[in-house]
C-alpha cells in the first residue's frame, strides 16, 4: 500500500469521528441550554446551579475548539432559542457575583464585534449586529446599565469586579451606536455621572478607554446629557484624556476629538474649553496635521476645525483664537494645504475660522434700509385709498392692537412681528419653520377648550372660519355662474337636505344676524345686471358698490376691469404697453427707468446650457483672497461706485415717518439703452451700476480691485435681512477683461451656486444684433463665509456669506443686466394679461379683475378662464381648479411656470379647448405684488412671509391672502363645490428639478390625521401624470408629509381647513436638473413654461370619477418615493400602468 493510499484511508476514518464528535457536542450544548431554561422556570433562586450553567457556557465560548465556540454562539444568536432572554433575566435578578461575571463575559462574546478578515468573520459580525438589535428590543440596554451602576457602586478592588466592569463597558459600547434612545436611557437611569466617573478613573487604562470613548461620544450627541456632563466637569476630564493619548493618530484620538466637537455645540462648554486651555491643545494637535496619513488625518482635522468654529460663536472663544500664534498656525495650513479635492472642505473651514475669529467688519451701509414703508396709517385706518377695509371697529380691536404691540415690543434693530432671526437653515420648501409654528400653534391653542381638548383635536375645526354673511360678498367673483340668486338656487338644487345653511342668506333673521357695516368698502369688480343688490349687500351698500361697476365689453368672452389697462390701445407694441404699465406701478423707491430685458419680453435662450463645473483652484484662490482681505484690509481699494442710500437721500426720500409711494405715470418711464450703446464713450476704469427699476435689487457697490467689485444687496422692505434676490444693470465694461463680482451679504448657509448654478445675464448689444435673451453666465463661481457681521445685535456674532463669480462681457461699452434668476415683473404679468385679452380663441371665456389692492394700492389681479357657457356643457357643472403663484417675490421661476400655464389655457390648441370645456380656472398669478415690485426676496411691505399667514390672514395687512382664502372658502361653504385641485407655484433654492409637495393624512404629524382612512390615488394621480408627461418633473423629489411647522402654509391650510384633497405646492428649481433627459443642464424660461403647459395636460388626464383604481407606493429608507404603480380602468377597460423608479442623487456636503 502506498503512502498516498494510507493517508486517504486515515482521512476517511477521521471524518466519521469528527462528525460523531460534533453531533455529541451539539447534543451537549442543547442539554446545557435546556438546563438553563428549566433552572429559570423551576429554581430561579438556586445560585449554584446558575453559576455552574453559566460557567459551562462561558467555558465553551472561550474554548480553543473553533467548532465548540461557533456552535455555542449560533445557539445564543438564535432568537427562537430564547437563550439571551434567559441570561438577561438571570442577570437582572441574580445577586451572585460569579454568576453575574460569567453572564457579562458571555454577552460580551455574543454582542461585541470582532476584528478580522474573511467570510466567516463577516457573517459572525452580521449575526452579532442582528443579535444586538434584538437585545435592545427586549430592554437589554437598561438591564446592562443597572448592572453597571451596581458593579461600579461596589468598588471593592476585587479583580473579578474590575473584569466584570470592563465587560459591561464593552457591551454598552457595542449597543450605544445602535440604540437611538441610548442617551435617554442612561439619563433616566441616573448613569450619566457614573459613566463620567468611570472615564475619570480609567482614562489611562488601555483595556477600557476605547469603549468608554465610544459611550461618551454617544452621550455627547444628546443636548441634555451634554449639559449634565459639562456641569460635572467633563471638559477638564477630556483635556487630561487628550494629553494622555498624545498626538499619535489613532481611533482613540479621533473618538476623543469627535466627542469634544459634539460637546462644543454648548456655549458653556466653549467657555470651559477656553478656561481649561483645551483650545491650545487642540491647535497643537492640528499643527501636526502633516504627520498624519489617510482618512484619519481628514477626520482628526475636521473634528478640530468644527470645534474651533463653535468656539468662534462666543466672544471669549474668538479672543482666545485671535492670538498671533494661533492665527499663524491656521494660516500656515492654508499655505501648505495639499492641492487635492479631499482637502477642499478643510481649507474652507480654516478660512471660515480665520474670518470668524478676526475682528468682524460691519457692512458699510446704514442699519436702516432706504426701502421702508410706514404701516401706521393703514393700521390706524387713515389710509383713504385702502380699498378692502373690513369693519373699522373689528380691525381696530384685532389687527391694530396685535401689530402695534409687537412693534412697540421690538427693539430698534429687530423686524416686525413673527419674523425669524437670521438662521443657518433652509428657507425653502416655502414653508419657514419658526414663523409657521408660532402662528399655527397660537391659533390652534386659542381654540382649545377648557375641558382639556388636545391640540390634535382642534385641528379638525377651522378656527378662523369666516361668517357666512361675510363670505357672500365673494359671489361677484363667480358671475360666470349667474346672479347671486341663481347661484343659491343651483346650490339648493344640488343639495339633498331641505334645511340648507344657505337659507340664512335668502331669509336673514334681523334679530340674530349681524348687520353689514355701512362703511364697508368692497371695491370689487363688475357684476351681472340682474343681481339683487339690495338683498345681498344691504341697503347701505348698493350705491357704494355700484360706484365700482364698469361698462362691460361687447365681447362675451373676454374683458378686463383692471385700471392699469385703462386707455391702452390694442394696437400698441409690447414694449410701449410695458412702459405705460410700468409707469403706473407704485413703488417704495422711485424708479428711473424701465429695464430693457423686461420691456422686450424677458425670455431666455432656448438652447441647453450645462451646469457649471466648479474650478477648485479658482475657488481656493478666492477663499485665500477673502482671508487676506480680512487680515490686511488696507492693501485693497475701497471706492464707492454706487450708493442707493445716497441717491435716495439726494432725491429727498429720507423721511422715515412718511408713507412712501412713488408712481412715474406723470413723467413716463422709458429705456434708452439702445441709444446708449451707440455712443462713443471714453474709456472708464470703473463700471457703472443701476438698479432703480422694477424688481431691481442693489444697494451699494464698492470697487476693491482694478476689476473687482463688492456688491451689497437691499434687504426686504421694512427689514434688515433676507438678501438673496439680485437684479441690476452694468455698463462701461471692456471686452475680453474678466470682472469679479462679490455679493457679500448673502444669508443662507448653502447655495446652489456651489452645485452648478450660474447667474443670468442679458446683453443689450446682443439683443440689437438679433440674439435677444437671458443666458447663464459666469465662471469661477463659489459660495463661502466672509468677515462681514450681521447688523442686528441678536445675531452680532454671525457672519454673512459671499457668492462670487467672474464675467467676461461679450462687448465693449455694452449695457448688461445680471440677475439671480430670470426676472418676471409685475408689469410683465399685467402686460401679458393685456396680450391674452386681445388674442383669445373663439369659444373661450377670460375675465380679468382686481381681487383687491395691495398696501401700496397696486391691483392684485384675479383671472377666470373657461369655455363659454353652452346648453350641452353648462359652466355650472364644471369642476373648479384654483391656482396661485409668487407668494415669495424672489421666486420668479414660479411666474414663468404660471405664464406657461396661462399660455396653454388661452391657446388655440384642441387640448386647450378641451381643458377649458372641462374646468373653470380661478387664478391669482401674483399674490405678493409689493414684494415683486420692490425687489424683495421673501416678504412684502409688512416684513412677513405671506405663506405663513394662511391660518389667520389679516384683511388689512394681508389682503391678497385674506381674499384668496375667502374665494376658496366661498366655493367650499357657499357654492358647495370645493376645488378639484389647488396648486401654489413656488421656486426652490436648494433642490434641482421640478416636483410636488402634497398632503397625505397617513404621513401627517397629527395622529388624528393618520386614523382617518386615506385615498392615495387622489393625491398621487396628478404627480404620476406629471411624471409621465413632463420630462422636467422628478417624482423622486416629491413629498406628501404634513409637518407641524407647515400648518399655516397655503398647501396645508387649504387641505386641512377647506377640505381640498389635491392641495399641492409645485416647486421649480432655480438651478437645473440632476436626472431625466435634461440631466446636467440649467433650467431656462422655456423649460419653466413647458412645465406650466405640462401641468395643464396632466389636469386634462385627471379623472376624478375613476373607479377600480389600485395604487402602490414604494419608498426608500429615507422616505423618498422610489416607485408609484397605478392600475386603473378607463373607458375601454384597458389597464393603465404608470411606473417610474427614481435614482436618488445626493450632493456633496459643503461646510
Question: So which residues are the catalytic ones?
Answer: 1067
CB 700 within 8 A of CB 694: no
Distances (CA, A) of 228 to 183, 214, 232, 239: 11, 18, 6, 17
Q: Residue 145 in 3-state DSSP?
A: helix
CB 727 within 8 A of CB 597: no
Q: Please give the Cα distance from 924 to 804 (Å, whole number).
A: 36
Q: Residue 828 in 3-state DSSP?
A: helix
**Half-sphere exposure of 1011 toward its Cβ, with a 13 Å CA cutoff?**
6
Triad 493, 529, 541: Cα angle to 5° = 95
What's the grid cell of residue 114? 470582532
CB 897 within 8 A of CB 1091: yes
CB 641 within 8 A of CB 687: yes
In degrees to the nearest 10, what's the CA dihedral of 332, 337, 343, 348? 40
DSSP assigned state of 720: S
Q: Please give the Cα distance from 739 to 806 (Å, whole number).
A: 5
Q: Please give the Cα distance from 844 to 834 (Å, whole number).
A: 15
Strands 639-643 and 662-663 come out as unpaired
Triad 156, 158, 160: Cα angle to 5° = 130
Q: Is the dihedral of CA 937, 941, 945, 947 positive or negative?
A: negative
Triad 691, 694, 695: Cα angle to 5° = 80
DSSP assigned state of 611: P
Q: Which of 985, 974, 960, 961 is nearest to 881 (CA)?
A: 985
Output b/e per residue, 732-752; b: 16+ Cβ within 10 A: bbbeeeebbbbbbbbbbebbb
**Half-sphere exposure of 286 toward its Cβ, with a 13 Å CA cutoff?**
30
Neighbours of 1015 (CB within 10 A): 12
Q: Please give the Cα distance from 209 to 252 (Å, whole number).
A: 8
139: left (phi > 0), else alpha (psi -120 to 50), else beta?
left
Rg (the chain; Cα; Å) = 35
Q: Which of 655, 740, 641 is nearest to 691 (CA)?
A: 641
Burial class from Cβ neighbours inside 10 Å (0-12, 13-18, 19+) for residue 70 reads middle
573: left (phi > 0), else alpha (psi -120 to 50), else beta?
beta
CB 600 within 8 A of CB 575: yes
Q: Please give the Cα distance from 457 to 466 (Å, whole number).
A: 20
Neighbouring residues of 792: CB distance < 8 A, sequence distance ≥ 6: 413, 414, 421, 422, 720, 721
Distances (CA, A) of 1071 to 460, 709, 784, 807: 39, 24, 18, 18
Neighbours of 333 (CB within 10 A): 23
Residue with the three cell numbers 442582528: 130
In degrees to the nearest 10, what's the CA dihedral of 622, 624, 628, 631? 120
Query: How long a stretch of residues is the chain?
Result: 1151
Q: Which helix (H) or strand (E) holds 743?
A: strand 739-746
Amino acid at each position: 500500500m502506498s503512502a498516498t493510499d494510507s493517508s486517504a484511508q486515515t482521512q476517511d476514518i477521521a471524518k466519521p469521528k469528527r462528525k460523531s464528535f460534533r453531533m455529541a457536542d451539539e447534543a451537549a450544548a442543547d442539554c446545557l441550554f435546556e438546563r438553563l431554561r428549566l433552572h429559570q422556570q423551576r429554581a430561579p433562586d438556586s445560585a449554584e446551579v446558575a453559576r455552574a450553567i453559566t460557567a459551562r457556557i462561558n467555558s465553551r465560548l472561550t474554548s480553543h475548539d473553533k467548532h465548540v465556540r461557533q456552535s455555542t454562539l449560533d445557539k445564543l444568536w438564535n432568537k427562537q432559542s430564547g437563550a439571551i432572554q434567559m441570561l438577561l433575566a438571570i442577570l437582572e435578578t441574580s445577586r451572585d457575583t460569579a454568576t453575574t461575571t460569567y453572564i457579562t463575559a458571555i454577552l460580551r462574546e455574543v454582542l461585541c464585534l470582532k476584528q478580522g478578515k474573511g467570510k466567516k468573520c463577516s457573517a459572525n459580525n452580521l449575526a452579532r449586529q442582528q443579535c444586538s438589535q434584538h437585545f435592545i428590543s427586549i430592554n437589554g440596554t437598561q438591564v446592562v446599565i443597572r448592572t453597571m451602576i451596581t458593579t461600579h457602586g461596589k468598588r471593592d478592588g476585587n479583580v473579578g469586579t474590575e473584569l466584570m466592569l470592563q465587560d459591561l463597558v464593552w457591551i454598552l459600547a457595542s449597543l450605544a451606536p445602535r440604540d437611538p434612545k441610548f442617551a435617554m436611557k442612561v439619563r433616566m437611569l441616573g448613569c450619566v455621572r457614573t459613566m463620567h466617573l468611570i472615564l475619570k478613573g480609567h482614562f489611562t487604562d488601555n483595556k477600557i478607554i476605547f469603549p468608554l470613548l465610544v459611550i461618551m461620544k454617544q452621550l455627547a450627541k444628546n443636548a441634555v446629557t451634554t449639559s449634565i456632563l459639562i456641569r460635572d466637569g467633563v471638559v477638564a476630564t477630556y483635556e487630561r484624556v487628550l494629553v494622555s493619548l498624545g498626538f499619535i493618530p489613532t481611533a482613540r484620538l479621533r473618538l476623543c476629538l469627535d466627542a469634544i466637537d459634539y460637546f462644543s455645540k454648548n456655549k458653556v462648554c466653549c467657555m470651559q474649553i477656553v478656561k481649561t486651555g483645551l483650545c491650545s491643545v487642540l491647535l497643537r494637535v492640528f499643527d501636526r496635521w502633516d504627520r498624519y496619513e489617510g482618512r484619519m488625518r481628514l477626520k482628526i482635522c475636521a473634528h478640530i476645525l468644527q470645534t474651533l468654529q463653535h468656539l468662534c460663536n462666543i466672544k471669549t472663544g474668538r479672543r482666545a483664537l485671535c492670538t498671533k500664534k494661533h492665527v499663524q498656525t491656521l494660516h500656515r495650513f492654508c499655505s501648505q494645504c495639499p492641492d487635492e479635492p479631499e482637502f477642499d472642505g478643510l481649507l474652507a473651514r480654516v478660512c471660515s475660522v480665520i474670518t470668524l475669529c478676526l475682528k468682524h467688519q460691519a457692512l458699510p451701509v446704514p442699519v436702516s434700509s432706504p426701502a421702508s414703508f410706514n404701516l401706521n396709517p393703514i393700521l390706524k385706518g387713515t389710509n383713504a385709498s385702502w380699498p378692502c377695509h373690513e369693519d373699522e371697529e373689528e380691525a381696530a380691536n384685532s389687527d391694530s392692537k396685535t401689530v402695534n404691540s409687537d412693534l412697540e415690543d421690538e427693539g430698534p434693530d429687530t423686524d416686525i412681528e413673527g419674523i425669524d432671526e437670521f438662521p443657518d437653515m433652509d428657507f425653502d420648501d416655502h414653508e419657514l419653520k419658526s414663523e409657521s409654528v408660532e402662528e399655527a400653534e397660537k391659533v390652534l391653542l386659542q381654540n382649545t377648550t377648557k375641558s382639556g381638548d388636545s391640540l390634535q383635536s382642534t385641528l379638525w375645526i377651522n378656527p378662523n372660519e369666516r361668517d357666512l354673511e361675510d363670505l357672500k360678498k365673494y359671489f361677484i367673483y363667480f358671475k360666470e355662474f349667474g346672479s347671486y340668486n341663481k347661484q343659491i338656487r343651483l346650490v339648493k338644487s344640488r343639495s339633498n337636505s331641505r334645511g340648507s345653511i344657505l337659507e340664512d342668506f335668502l331669509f336673514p333673521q334681523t334679530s340674530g344676524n349681524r348687520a353689514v357695516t355701512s362703511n364697508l368698502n368692497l371695491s370689487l369688480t363688475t357684476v351681472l345686471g340682474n343681481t339683487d343688490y339690495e338683498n345681498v349687500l344691504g341697503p347701505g351698500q348698493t350705491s357704494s358698490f355700484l360706484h365700482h361697476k364698469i361698462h362691460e365689453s361687447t365681447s362675451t368672452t373676454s374683458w378686463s376691469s383692471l385700471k392699469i389697462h385703462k386707455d391702452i390701445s390694442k394696437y400698441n407694441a409690447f414694449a410701449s404697453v410695458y412702459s405705460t404699465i410700468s409707469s403706473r406701478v407704485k413703488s417704495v423707491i422711485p424708479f428711473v427707468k424701465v429695464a430693457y430685458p423686461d420691456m422686450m419680453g424677458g425670455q431666455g435662450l432656448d438652447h441647453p446650457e450645462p451646469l457649471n463645473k466648479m474650478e477648485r483652484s479658482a475657488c481656493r484662490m478666492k477663499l485665500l483672497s477673502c482671508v487676506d482681505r480680512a487680515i490686511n484690509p488696507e492693501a485693497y481699494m475701497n471706492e464707492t461706485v454706487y450708493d442707493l442710500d445716497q441717491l435716495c437721500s439726494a432725491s429727498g426720500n429720507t423721511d422715515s415717518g412718511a408713507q412712501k409711494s412713488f408712481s412715474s405715470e406723470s413723467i413716463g418711464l422709458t429705456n434708452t439703452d439702445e441709444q446708449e450703446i451707440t455712443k462713443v464713450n471714453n474709456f472708464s476704469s470703473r463700471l457703472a451700476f443701476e438698479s432703480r427699476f422694477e424688481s431691481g435689487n442693489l444697494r451699494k457697490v464698492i470697487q476693491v480691485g482694478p476689476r473687482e467689485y463688492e456688491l451689497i444687496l437691499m434687504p426686504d422692505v421694512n427689514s434688515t435681512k433676507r438678501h438673496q434676490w439680485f437684479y441690476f444693470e452694468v455698463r462701461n465694461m471692456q471686452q475680453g477683461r474678466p470682472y469679479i463680482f462679490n455679493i457679500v451679504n448673502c444669508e443662507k448657509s448653502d447655495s446652489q451656486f456651489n452645485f452648478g448654478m450660474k447667474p443670468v445675464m442679458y446683453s443689450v448689444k446682443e439683443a440689437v444684433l438679433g440674439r435677444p435673451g437671458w443666458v447663464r453666465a459666469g465662471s469661477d463661481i463659489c459660495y463661502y463665509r466672509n468677515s462681514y457681521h450681521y447688523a442686528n445685535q441678536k445675531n452680532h456674532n454671525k457672519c454673512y456669506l459671499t457668492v462670487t463669480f467672474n464675467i467676461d462681457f461679450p462687448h465693449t461699452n455694452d449695457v448688461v443686466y445680471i440677475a439671480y434668476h430670470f426676472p418676471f415683473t409685475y408689469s410683465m404679468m399685467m402686460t401679458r394679461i393685456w396680450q391674452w385679452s386681445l388674442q383669445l380663441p373663439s369659444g373661450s371665456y377670460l375675465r380679468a379683475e382686481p381681487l383687491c389692492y395691495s398696501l401700496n394700492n397696486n391691483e392684485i389681479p384675479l383671472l377666470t378662464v373657461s369655455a363659454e357657457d353652452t346648453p350641452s356643457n353648462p359652466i355650472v357643472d364644471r369642476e373648479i381648479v384654483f391656482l396661485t403663484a409668487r407668494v415669495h417675490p424672489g421666486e420668479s421661476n414660479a411666474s414663468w411656470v404660471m405664464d406657461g400655464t396661462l399660455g396653454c389655457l388661452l391657446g388655440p390648441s384642441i387640448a386647450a379647448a378641451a381643458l377649458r370645456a372641462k374646468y373653470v380656472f380661478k387664478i391669482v398669478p401674483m399674490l405678493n405684488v409689493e414684494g415683486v415690485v420692490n425687489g424683495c426676496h421673501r416678504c412684502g411691505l409688512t416684513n412677513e412671509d405671506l405663506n405663513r399667514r394662511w391660518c389667520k390672514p389679516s384683511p388689512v395687512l394681508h389682503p391678497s391672502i385674506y381674499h384668496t382664502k375667502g374665494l376658496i372658502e366661498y366655493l367650499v361653504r357657499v357654492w358647495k363645490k370645493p376645488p378639484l385641485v389647488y396648486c401654489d407655484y413656488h421656486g426652490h433654492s436648494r433642490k434641482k428639478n421640478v416636483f410636488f409637495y402634497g398632503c397625505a393624512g397617513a404621513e401627517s404629524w397629527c395622529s388624528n390625521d393618520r386614523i382617518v382612512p386615506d385615498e392615495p390615488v387622489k393625491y398621487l394621480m396628478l404627480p404620476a401624470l406629471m411624471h409621465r408627461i413632463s420630462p422636467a418633473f422628478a417624482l423622486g423629489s416629491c413629498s406628501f408629509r404634513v409637518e407641524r411647522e407647515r400648518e399655516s402654509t397655503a398647501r396645508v391650510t387649504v387641505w386641512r381647513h377647506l377640505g381640498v384633497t389635491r392641495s399641492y405646492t409645485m416647486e421649480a428649481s432655480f438651478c437645473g436638473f440632476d436626472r431625466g433627459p435634461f440631466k446636467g443642464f440649467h433650467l431656462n424660461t422655456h423649460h419653466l413654461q413647458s412645465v406650466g403647459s405640462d401641468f395643464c395636460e396632466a389636469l386634462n388626464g385627471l379623472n376624478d370619477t375613476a373607479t377600480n383604481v389600485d395604487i402602490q407606493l414604494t419608498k426608500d429608507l429615507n422616505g423618498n418615493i422610489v416607485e408609484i404603480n397605478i392600475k386603473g380602468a378607463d373607458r375601454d377597460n384597458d389597464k393603465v400602468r404608470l411606473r417610474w423608479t427614481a435614482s436618488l442623487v445626493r450632493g456633496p456636503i459643503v461646510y
